[in-house]
Amino acid sequence: MNCVQYLKMAVSNVYVSPKCVRECLMAIYYGIQNDSIFEKVHPHLESVLLDICIPLLGLNAKDQEFWEEDQPQFVYAAVSMIDDHNIIKNASKILIELLLGCADPNDQLYVYSIVNFLVFYFK
C-alpha cells in the first residue's frame, strides 16, 4: 500500500494509527518538494487536498464530546498538540499550505479549487 491509500482508509474511518497518518502526510509533504517525485504525485494532488487533508481537519464525534465536557481543556489540547488527533490536524494544515502554492494539471493554483469547492458547498 502507498501513503495515499493509508490516508484514504483513515478518512473513511478505518483504523490507521495516528503516527502512520502523520508520517504519510509528511512523506507527501517532503515528496512534493522533490522534482522527480512531484511529477509522479502531481496528478493526485487535488484528491489529496480535497479528499484527505480537508476531511482530516474536521471535527469528529470525539472532538464534539470533548468540547461539550471541557471547553478550556479542548482549546488547550488543540493549541498544545498533546494528542494524536491534533498532531494529524497540524500535519494536514502544513500539507495544505504547501499544496495551495502548487498548480493543478491545468496550471491553475489549487487555491482556486478550494475557493470553488467552498462556493459550491455554501450555496
The tens digit of pLDDT for each residue in 85-97 reads 678 888 888 888 8
pLDDT at 83: 66
Q: What is the mean pLDDT of the chain?
A: 81
Integer Cα distance of 112 and 118 in angstroms? 10
Phi then psi for residue 104, to 5 deg, are -80, 180
Residue spans of the domains in the chain: they are 3-121
The tens digit of pLDDT for each residue in 64-81 reads 898 899 888 888 877 776
The tens digit of pLDDT for each residue in 32-42 reads 888 888 888 88
DSSP string covering 36-60: HHHHHHGGGHHHIIIIIIHHHHS--
